[in-house]
Chain A
Amino acid sequence: MQRIPQWADIILVPFLSLVLAAFISALVILAIGQDPLEAVNLMITGALGSTYGWGYTLYYATNFMFTGLAVSVAFHARLFNIGGEGQAMLGGLGIALAVLFIPWPHWSIALLGASLMAALFGALWGYIPAILQAKRGSHIVITTIMFNFIAAGLLNYLLVDVLRPPTSMDPSTASFPEATHLPTLHEILAPFGIAFSKAAPANVTLLIALAASLLVWILIWRTRLGYAIRAFGESESGAKYAGINPVRITVVTMLISGGLAGLMSINTTMGEAERLILNSTEGAGFIGIAVALMGRSHPVGVVLASLLFGFLYQGGAELALWMSIPRELIVVIQALVILFTGALDNMVRMPVEALFSAFRKSGASQ
């Protein structure tokens, strides 16, 4: 039974959750003795007031699109992939190996090869928890959490003891060769006569993220596999009855999810740092959860939520710089968004449903 109209479900309820999260965040800012209005102003000018700000906002948003799509695809099969962080780390490893050990003639071919490796390594890191869930019944949430830690340990070992050039002190790989550097938005937009900030890290990966969003939309709503994924998510027994193989769907979904998470590292590793560093993911894998919940697991929603979180991230950095509000404010906002749009969804939804049914009753009695 549809208790509320669709527009309320996909717009009103997330919007109310967002308002609640914003309201509590404002209270938090007040409680630490700062002015929320000043903070919002500063965030808007810092994140959207210049092409430099936009460059960072879009750079972060690119990360969150990939991880948000990764979590969304898994959500459609009712799998909760908390392992985006680890899968993205492995993706970064795949990129580093591809770029450092193969002499690429041009960035475009390097991008293709590195993307393939990133997706492959990320998918591999999603594959093991998937097969364990499908065949051995181990809970995918727990195994993906464990795999995040295992990935962190593995990367730590490889970067400190194996891939680090002998002359260098920091735990990172050598810098990637010049030929593999990706064009930034500045370079892409210059031929069109648009002057975009040279210093901002947003790059061509943004376009890949948008393309990935489109492909995920086609996959989920326009292909047989997507139908099987959604059917499996709605009802496992129903899907089985319809001849859908649960092991296959679980594994394929997690391969796609892990691959998407792995692709995120193109942006951070090839696009920004131009070498693989420790903790290059910076928690973007987890923000994917908030993004997917807010975007209702729909690619359009994911892109919009990613832009919002990109704005929050860049705005938050400005707050840390100009007001004495630590960057961790963003972590609090992220937590509140996850709480209200995910865990306490019914708290927001129940009053809305009650309101609509009251309207309907009064409409019917007239």
Chain B
Amino acid sequence: MTEMLSDLITVLGSTMRLSTPLLLACLAGLFSERAGIFDIGLEGKMLSAAFFSAALAAITGSVWMGLAAGIAAALLLSVIHGLASVTFRGNQLISGVAINFLAAGMTVLVAQSWFKQGGRTPSLVGDGRFNGIDLPFADALGGIPIFGTIYRDLLSGHSILVYVAFLMVPLTWWVLYRTRFGLRLRAVGEAPEAVDTAGISVPMLRYAAIAICGVLCGIAGAYLATGLQAGFVKDMTAGRGYIALAALIFAKWRPWYALLSCLLFGFLQALALRSDLIEKYFYFKVQIQLLDVLPYILTVIILAGFVGKAIPPRAGGEPYVKER
């Protein structure tokens, strides 16, 4: 029984950590897409943030400097996306593809030029990483059976960015549904002409959404390289930006459902790491490759409308032209 509980806590704890970058990127995409800007460049923004956060953390020894650099790098790519999709009314999908490749190439080029370690940063130690923090009274309450154990071993002891990510969910909900800015942001994704008629600038709102998206992707990437792992390696996002995109569709562009879908996809990733546990408790072998692609298969099923219909924001992907 205790062994089962400790195995469960191991997998769930790893689920929390693996869900964090997905959740941050998913909420990033949520802001952007609710404002009518499709963003398949989440992957690239996360990747460049991962590199620049690890690089600055390695150079300065301060993880906070790293976080700032990561956010700045992701914001820079956001500006390119904004220029392409808002100012020059280009194709948002093509811009996203370009951003992903730009990040994939530039991170390795710069990494090789700065550190000469085959496209990676030096390993981060000490203050160069986000280390785990203990929640209040974790030790004191830890003695209580089950609840205390869960509090001490599962919920406590993660890095600060994990808690930031989870707190971002109610915050996103509040901003989108309880503030004037959120109302306008959702409106600009559904009916930009109405927002324009009300005398509010469509480009400004969309740039704001894209900027928020950049900041969140920046935090997600920084967490990957300085929290989840200790340094940057080539292509370390490994498709997480696309899984976040899948989670966003799975959640039908709503914040609380985004939390659930990211936890689900994070859980699948955690299981893929410990597939021996499935055999131990359920006596059958699951192909790791199946666990890896399950998020994508589930998303296709959702997209196909077999389990409820995923309807994207109405004006998504369309540049707004005033004089029509």
A132 touches B109 (CB 8 A): no
Contact stretch, chosen from A152-160, A191-199, A222-230, A257-265: A152-160
Residue interface bits A335-348, CB-to-B below 8 A is 1, else 0: 11011001111110
Q: How far apart sit A328 and B111, CA to CA, in the bound complex (Å)?
A: 11
Q: Across the interface, do A153 and B293 meet the contact criterion of CB distance under 8 Å?
A: yes
A145 touching B242, Cβ below 8 Å: yes
* B168 sits at the interface (CB 8 A): no
A-binding segment of B85-93, B176-184, B219-227: B85-93
Contact between chains at B95 and A343 (CB < 8 Å): yes
Number of interface residues of B (CB under 8 A): 47
Judge whether A328 and B119 touch: CB under 8 Å: yes
Complex interface bits, B253-295 against A, C-beta within 8 A gives 1, otherwise 0:
0000000000000000000000000000000000101101100
Task: Give the CA-CA distance A321 to B104 in the complex, in Å.
Answer: 20
In the assembled complex, B211 has its CB within 8 A of some CB on chain A: no
Check if B90 sits within 8 Å of A344, measured CB to CB.
yes
* Segment from A6-14, A102-110, A135-143, A176-184 that makes contact with B: A135-143
Alpha-carbon distance between A334 and B292 when the two chains are bound, in angstroms: 28
Tell which of B104, B108, B300, B305 touches A147, judged by Cβ atoms closer than 8 Å: B300
Contact B98 A328 (CB under 8 A): no
Q: A138-B303, A138-B304 are in contact. Are A339 and B84 (CB under 8 A)?
A: yes
Query: Contact: B305 with A137, CB < 8 Å?
Result: yes
Give chain A residues whose Cβ lies under 8 Å from the Cβ of B110: 32
In the complex, which of the residues B89, B98, B296, B300 has the most CB atoms of chain A within 10 Å of its own CB atom?
A: B98
Is A149 interfacial (CB-CB < 8 Å)? Answer: yes
Residues of chain B lying within 8 A (CB to CB) of residue A157? 287, 289-290
Evaluate contact between A329 and B305: CB separation under 8 angstroms: no
Q: Is the CB of B105 within 8 A of A330?
A: yes
Contact assessment for A32 and B104 in the assembled complex, using a CB-CB cutoff below 8 Å: no
A2 at the interface (CB under 8 A from B): no
| Nearest CB of A to B117, in Å | 12
| Cα A344 to Cα B40 with chains together (Å) | 16
CA–CA, A2 and B80, complex, Å:
28
**Residues on B with beta carbons closer than 8 Å to the beta carbon of A137:** 305
CB distance from B139 to the nearest CB of A (A): 42
A344-B304 in contact (CB<8A): no
In the complex, residue of chain A having the shortest beta-carbon distance to the beta carbon of B111: A326
Of A132, A325, A335, most B-chain CB atoms within 10 Å: A335
Give the residue name and chain of the A residue nearest to B114 (CB): A32
Question: With A and B bound together, what is the CA distance between A85 and B254 in angstroms?
Answer: 31
A332 CA to B304 CA, complexed, in Å: 34
Shortest C-beta distance, A221 to chain B (Å), equals 24
B313 to chain A, nearest CB (A): 12
Is A307 located at the chain interface by the 8 A CB criterion?
no
For B102, what are the chain A residues with a Cβ–Cβ distance below 8 Å?
A: 332, 335-336, 339
A155–B189 CA distance with the chains assembled, in angstroms: 38
Is A328 in contact with B290, judged by CB distance below 8 angstroms?
no
Contact A153 B299 (CB under 8 A): no
Interface residues of B (CB under 8 A from A): 40, 80, 83-85, 88-95, 97-102, 104-106, 108-110, 112-113, 119, 239, 242, 245-246, 249, 287, 289-290, 292-293, 296-297, 299-300, 303-305, 310, 312
Q: List 13 A-B contacts (CB under 8 A).
A: A28-B106, A32-B112, A80-B93, A80-B94, A132-B304, A136-B305, A153-B293, A328-B108, A331-B104, A335-B101, A335-B102, A335-B104, A345-B88
Binding site for B on A (CB under 8 A): 28, 31-33, 80, 82, 132, 136-139, 141-143, 145-147, 149-150, 152-154, 156-157, 160-161, 286, 289, 293, 324-326, 328-336, 338-339, 342-347, 350
